[in-house]
Amino acid sequence: MRGDDASMIDGPSFSFWQAGMLSWDVALAARAPRAALAARRTQRLAALMSAARGSAFYRERFARHGQAFDAQPPVTKAELMERFDDWACDRRITRAAVEDFMSDPARIGLPFAERYTVWQSSGSSGIGGVFVQDEAAMRVYDVLEALRRPVAPQRWLDPAMLGERIAFVGATGGHFASIVSIERLRRGQPGMAQRLRAFSFLDPMPRLLAALQAWRPTILATYPSAAVMLADEAAQGRLALPLREVWTGGEALGENLRGLVAQGFGCPVLASYGASEFMALASECPHRRLHLNSDWVILEPVDERGRALPPGRSGHTTLLTNLANHVQPLIRYDLGDRVRLFDEPCACGSALPVVEVEGRVDDALRVRGDGGDDLSLPPLALTTVIEDEAGCFDFQLVQRGPRSLRLTLAGAVDDAALVRAREALRGYLRGRGADAVRLEVRRGAAQVRGRSGKQPRVVALAPGRGRGS
């Protein structure tokens, strides 16, 4: 979650002096010469490679490939999840212990093993992830998000946002990165607890609208597809909020979507780019360009053979190296996103490189509701239901008509998984007022590929197709 209070956490080794030094470094680095940024990366990469020797998984890789960073082959989420107990540099971090911790929703935002932050990721690659962050990494994420987010003109007199009421709309029922970060702030900062509240985008629309209307937030933080859905409700007169800003992340924000949200709510829309593997990858400058936090993370666009691509070229995938987190090292990790990095300086004056993100390939669905109205279903809400409630990660949901959906589950799927997926998705549709939508659930392989070759997990009705029921 964003906000100046994000730079203040409670923990056994927390130091205000350390936070102050980190804040000073983050503030200076954005305007530092490129050579100074490169020196920071070199120093932090050396520290990461040294820390990784405490991981049995990486010791084996170093023995096979050498200890030079450039010699390391890409590592996948599947490899890390399979070798979870050998991956961490703290032997207390085991898959069994972490999953037991995450089995209790009451622990969302609480420290694991008294000092670590734990969250799970979506299964956008067909595999769910579990990531453990050390305190140093959390301080870095907090300060990056606090100091590198642009300050809208109306907030210049209140940079700490003491007069704001912030609403996060997203997945709240599991140990996901956003809600873990929010609850961590709420628990650690009593003042923030009074100004920050989370709302589930899985709630039936009337309940969600009523809850937001009662809270009356001045800042809304959510995913672009959910922001469009709520902005449409505002445009239809069913939601009236005194918003001064909308913050979006988790999906690509195109100019058309930005315009719809800004028009619906009548306020500026700010974008950021992050992942479960590194919370604060990039923030938007006043010129609406995303700047990569390259002093703390390395992104490498690569082609199908893993070869580095020159600036301006979009890769087959992107390798991520997290320079902040030493307890679960991520070195040349296959992130799965397609990005482009640029050498040209930005007009805003930041020395941080500009990054363009292709982003997720999932569609928002518009279905015919029980009352005949068109209803919007955000893709992240649909995938969260299937993952979190049904426990299925490798799937594709394709719209076949205004009142027809087909869910295909891939891999080794038993009858119980089919039943769980059908019941979970049916329950969500019923809560949205779309119980009349026909739902087919089956086993099989994905039928639709995106233009980039990536497999979308939620596919909307193609224009001109299936206009009947």
Per-residue model confidence as pLDDT tens digits over 200-234: 988 988 999 999 999 999 999 998 889 988 998 99
The reported pLDDT for the residue numbered 199 is 96
The reported pLDDT for the residue numbered 193 is 82
Q: How far is 123 from 378, CA to CA, in rounded Å?
A: 16
The reported pLDDT for the residue numbered 450 is 52
Q: Does domain 365-459 have CATH number 3.40.50.300?
A: no
DSSP run (H or E) holding 24: helix 16-29
List, by residue range, all CATH 3.40.50.12780 domains of the chain: 4-357
CB 78 within 8 A of CB 313: no
The reported pLDDT for the residue numbered 14 is 45
CB 44 within 8 A of CB 165: no
List, by residue range, all CATH 3.30.300.30 domains of the chain: 365-459
- CATH fold of 4-357 reads Rossmann fold (3.40.50)
Per-residue model confidence as pLDDT tens digits over 25-54: 998 888 889 899 999 999 999 999 999 999
- Classify burial at 227, counting beta carbons within 10 Å of its beta carbon; exposed 0-12, middle 13-18, buried 19 or more: buried
The reported pLDDT for the residue numbered 153 is 58
The reported pLDDT for the residue numbered 157 is 55
Q: For the whole model, what pTM was predicted?
A: 0.81
42: which 2 tokens? 């070199």
Which residues of the chain are under the pLDDT cut of 70?
1-17, 122-127, 150-161, 359-361, 449-455, 462-469
Dump the DSSP string for 292-312.
E-TTTEEEEEE-TTS-B--TT
DSSP run (H or E) holding 431: helix 415-431
